[in-house]
Each structure stands twice: as C-alpha cells, then as structure tokens.
Amino acid sequence: MDHLLSMKRLGPDGIIRILDRAAELRGGAVPEIGRTHYISNLFFEPSTRTKTSFEMAERRLGLDVIPFEAGFSSTLKGETLYDTVRTLEAIGLDALVIRSPEDRFYKELEGRTSVAIINAGDGSGQHPTQTLLDLFTLREEFGTLEGLKVTIAGDVSHSRVAKSGRDALQMFGADVRILCPPEWQGDFESSEDWEEVLPDSDAVMLLRVQHERHSGEGSFSAHSYHERYGLTAGRAERMKKGAIILHPAPVNRGVEIAGELVEHSRSRIFRQVENGVYVRMAVLETILKGRD
C-alpha cells in the first residue's frame, strides 16, 4: 500500500489487513517500522480527534514528526498544495497526512510525487481512517462486519464519514440504512422514519450537523431537528438488545444526539477515539514498511 486515499481503493483485503494489524497493536504488539521516517500533518481544516490521534500514533511508532501549521504556511501566499507537497518531499519527508476542504485534493498529486499521501478527510468526499476505526469498533463489538445492520443518521450529503462508511460496509455485505431530511440525502436513498430502521439496527451512527457546509440554506432549528431526526433518550430505549451508538464527533449535544447518550452504556463514542490511535498506527506502519 503506497497511499491511503479512499475506501474503494483500499478494498476489502486491504481493510482486513489494517484491522488485523490494529488489533495486534492494541494487544501490545511491537511496531515494525525499521529505519527512521519523517512525516508531517497538513491540516487545512480544524481537527481535534483526527489530528491528535495521528500525532499520538506517529509518536508511538517512533516517527520523526516535522511540524506544519497551515495558518503560517506559504499556502496563504498562494502556493498550491502540489508545490507544498513537492517542497516537503524535496526536504526529505516520507509521508504526509493531509486534511483539505477540497474534494479529492489528491487528484493533483497522484503520479507527481513520491511521498506517501494519507487522506485525513477531503471536503465532503472520503475519510478513510475514520471509517477504518468505525469498522474496527464494530468488529470488536460483534466479531464480524458481515450481515450487520447499520443506520447512519444525519447530514449525509455533506458527510465524508457517511460516504466512506457506506462504501466499506457494503463491501462486507452490511445493510446500510440512511435516515435524514430529504434535502440532505444527496445520492443516498433515505428514510425519515426512525421506526423503519431503529428496531433491528445493530448500530446507529449519528453524524454532526455541519452548519459550516449549509451556507444559504435558510434557518435551522436544533430543537426541531433533534425531535425529528436526532437520537433522543426515548429512541435509545427502543434500540434492540446489544445495539450500540457511534458518532465520529465532534458532537452537537441535543442536536443529533441527546447529551445523556454520549456516555450511555450503549455508546462507543470514546472507544472509537481510543481505537483510532491503533488503526492509524496500523495504516502508517503498513505504508512506511511498504516504502522500505
């Protein structure tokens, strides 16, 4: 594996290899990196979980992390992402973790640079490592991904998590159902009725309402959204036995999910964050070993 750009490119065999290695690392396996590698994290959008998770993974692997601050980079002077990447390649970096507001930002880089590219989120496109940690959490809970019924509820048209999650889950025969307002369904087939999807769902994944991507779409009421499309405490009580709650975060408490459910016994939200470190360790290790 030279890069990690999307779930479809990774494929089911690649997914299983990453999940298996993440499980080994979580169980205490010693990382296998070899020589010193240099890496940098280029985040052109705000991030707490993904950025710090990658930083923790990199340090646990013993990588040399070269600081990069988007707010002080030459991109503010008009430098293209391609020129930034080529500059960092020339300096001697082996891999770059990139989050960009542009869909498929990596298109301008493919075949034009030898540095490894890891997609940490591209616009409303894909978020491969988030999906990998979601799959890891599901497999950890249920022992398999095959045949699971997973409901994704929320702002799917703008969600890279929904798109990469659907792509990956369907590779393993999971039944992915979507619940959202009609104007937010994008190219998904969706429902507006919780009772159509809730009773037999093994997992319910809530998505943050992305206010920043809804410019010009009129007024929005957090209360009415929560009552119609959010996971309320009452709805959580009607979930099937053993079903779990997921959320990629950050969480809008009282909008897509009731505040008291974030740390409910069904919730795996903070477990997802924890698992993300091991998944990202596995991704980085796999890519860097491949380079050697």
77 is catalytic: yes
127 labeled part of a ligand binding site: yes
240 labeled part of a ligand binding site: no
Q: Which of 99, 149, 247, 280 is catalytic?
A: 99
User: Is residue 184 within 8 Å of residue 156, measured between CB atoms?
Assistant: yes
DSSP 95: E
DSSP 88: H
77 labeled part of a ligand binding site: yes
Which residue's entry shows tokens 């891999």? 95
50 labeled part of a ligand binding site: yes
Cα end-to-end span (Å), the chain: 11
Sheet holding 149-153, edge to edge: 175-179, 149-153, 203-206, 244-246
99 is catalytic: yes
Give the DSSP H/E element, type plus range, for residue 279. Answer: helix 269-291
Give the DSSP H/E element, type plus range, for residue 226. Answer: helix 222-229
226 labeled part of a ligand binding site: no
Q: Read out DSSP for 16-67?
A: HHHHHHHHHHHTTPPP---S--EEEEEESS--SHHHHHHHHHHHHTT-EEPP
User: Is residue 202 within 8 Å of residue 142, measured between CB atoms?
Assistant: yes
149 labeled part of a ligand binding site: no
Q: Which of 21, 50, 139, 280 is catalytic?
A: 50
60 is catalytic: no
Report the distance separating Cα 158 and Cα 123, nearest Å: 8
243 labeled part of a ligand binding site: no
160 labeled part of a ligand binding site: yes
Report the distance separating Cα 42 and Cα 65, nearest Å: 11
17 is catalytic: no
Report the distance separating Cα 102 and Cα 188, nearest Å: 21
Which residue's entry shows tokens 């990202």? 280
Q: Which of 3, 37, 127, 149 is catalytic?
A: 127
286 labeled part of a ligand binding site: no
162 labeled part of a ligand binding site: no
Q: Which of 26, 49, 228, 266 is catalytic?
A: 49
Report the distance separating Cα 32 and Cα 199, nearest Å: 44
DSSP 240: P
59 is catalytic: no
* Active site (catalytic) residues: 49-50, 77, 99, 127
Annotated binding site, which residues?
Answer: 49-50, 77, 99, 127, 130, 160, 208, 249-250
Annotated binding site for L-aspartate, which residues?
Answer: 77, 160, 208
Annotated binding site for carbamoyl phosphate, which residues?
Answer: 49-50, 99, 127, 130, 249-250
